[in-house]
Amino acid sequence: MKWKASEMTPDVKWKDITPGCNIFEGGTSCTVETGDWRTMKPVLDADKCRQCLLCAPVCPDMSIPVKNGKRGDFNYFFCKGCGICANACPFGAITMVKDEK
């Protein structure tokens, strides 16, 4: 039986899935790549960014990491490309561009 989210791989057999697909650990959304169906992606212009941090709280996932009061570059593992951050930025520091894969 596979009890952890990390053990739930596409190879898992039906006898090894936990009843109800229950997962026996917390914070498992960290392991799920929600950014894989993005068509547009936000690009940060660090020169224009004033670190006002209006963008970070409006992100519906956790694509804008904030450390020591400053935002870092986008975490594209989670970014769905919704563009809310680009709309929230008062300084035009975030541009939505087509995501080429």
Partner 1 sequence: MGIRERLSGNEAVALAMKQINPDVMGAFPITPSTEIPQYFSAYVDNGQVDTEFIPVESEHSAMSTCIGAEAAGCRAISATSSCGLCYMTEMLYVAASDRLPITLAVSCRALSGPININNDHSDAMGVRDAGWLMLFAETNQEAYDNYLQAMRIGEAVGLPIMVCQDGFITSHAIENIELVEDEKVKAFVGEYKPQHYLLNKDEPMAVGAYATPVYYMEAKRQQAQAMMDAKDVIKKVGAEFGQMTGRTYGMIEKYEMDDAEEAIVIIGSSAGTAKEAVNELRAQGKKVGLVKVRAFRPFPAEEICEALKNVKSFAVMDKDDSFNGHCGPMYAEVTASLYAAGVSAPRGISYIYGLGGRDVRVESIQRVFGELGEIAKTGVTGETYRYLDVRE
Candidate list 6, 25, 36, 70; residue touching partner 1; CB under 8 A: 25
One of 15, 67, 98, 101 touching partner 1 (CB under 8 A): 15
Minimum distance, C-beta of residue 37 to partner 1, in the bound complex (Å): 12
**Residue matched to tokens 């894969």:** 101
Place of tokens 């224009």: 48
Task: Name the pairing type of β-strands 70-71 and 66-67.
Answer: antiparallel
Other CB atoms within 10 A of residue 99 CB: 16
Interacting residues with partner 1 between 26 and 55 (CB under 8 A): 26, 28
Q: Which of 13, 7, 11, 6 is nearest to 27 (CA)?
A: 6
Minimum CB–partner distance for residue 4 and partner 1 (Å)? 11
Q: Which amino acid is at 100?
A: E
Residue 17 touches partner 1, criterion: CB under 8 A: yes
Total residues binding partner 1 (CB under 8 A): 16
Footprint on this chain of partner 1 (rule: CB under 8 A): 8, 10, 12-15, 17, 19-26, 28
